[in-house]
Amino acid sequence: MLNLAFYTYFIGSDNNDTFIIPVIPSLKYKCYYYTNNKTIFERLKTTDWIGIFIDIITTDDMHESNMVGKHIKTMPHLYEEIKNYDYLCFLDTKLPELNEKFIENYIHKYFIDDNYALLLRQHPDITENVWNEYNLSMIHTRYYTQRERYYNYIMKQLKNGLCVNTIYHCACGLLIRNMKHKKIIELNQTWYNHILECGIQDQISFFFVKQLFPDCIMGFKEIPFKK
């Protein structure tokens, strides 16, 4: 049995459209749900999720609650409940039900037999140019309101010598981390710092962070969800 845990989060009020408790991804491994929402926290007590209450008051501002969540998503090494696991799997609450065996197999293949720090899915719909992600994001109000911030961030990264195209683009709703990898904390911190500059559309910032850690990240095409 692997020293593995799953985790997710919800930050915001009862009116937030991501007010969801997903199907628990595993009964074999511990699954943690971080939230500052008292309604969610109470409901978690009737499930197999381990609810972790975060005493942070947020408003209904979409950017504020999102930024609090990004810290949980990208910086698990700072959270007492999960920091000592060898492997962590983050999942967005909106994803379909995960295939636990898929996660175990990929940990063996890419972390134990190989030495990657982070696994995530290649984006099934958006191609390898960062402007494709930017343009598609504009249909969502929460991203459209930060459009100038994203644009300025992208232009800065291109001026810094990073590329507008990569071999593949990543979907960041599922992250499988090798917490024993020597560069995982640096990778986590770098991504979070880029999010602070870029904004809440973390797939834009990850597009460039991926280029900074070319030997640490594996993007896979397979579908990790139950059929």
Q: Which of 81, 103, 121 is the last residue of a domain?
A: 121
Residues 78 and 20 sit within 8 Å (Cβ to Cβ): no
Q: What is the pTM of this model?
A: 0.96
- Tell whether 97 is covered by a domain: yes
Query: Residue 82 has what pLDDT?
Result: 98
227 domain residue, yes or no = no
Same domain (yes/no): 101, 149: no
Tell me, yes or no, whether 185 and 99 share the same domain.
no
Q: Which two tokens stand for residue 50?
A: 């381990």
**Largest interatomic CA distance in the chain:** 51
Backbone conformation region of residue 88, classed left if phi is above 0, alpha if psi is from -120 to 50, else beta: beta
pLDDT per position as a tens digit, 145-166: 999 999 999 999 999 999 999 9
Do 116 and 134 fall within a single domain? no
Residues 111 and 19 in one domain: yes
pLDDT, tens digit, for every residue of 60-113?
788 888 999 999 999 999 999 999 999 999 999 999 999 999 999 999 999 999
Place 16 in a pLDDT band, splitting at 50, 70 and 90.
confident
Q: How confident is the model at residue 127 (pLDDT cuts 50, 70, 90)?
A: confident
Range of the domain at 195: 130-170+180-215
Q: What is the pLDDT of residues 193-202, one digit of tens each?
A: 999 999 999 9
- The answer to whether residues 14 and 35 belong to one domain is yes
Note whether 83 and 152 are same-domain residues: no
Q: Is residue 224 in a domain?
A: no
Q: How many domains does the chain have?
A: 2
Contacts of 152 (CB under 8 A, 6+ apart): none
If asked whether residues 135 and 70 sit together in one domain, one would say no
In a domain, 18, yes or no: yes
| Residue 221, in any domain of the structure | no
In the chain, the N- to C-terminal Cα span, in Å, equals: 24
Assess if residue 225 is contained within a domain.
no
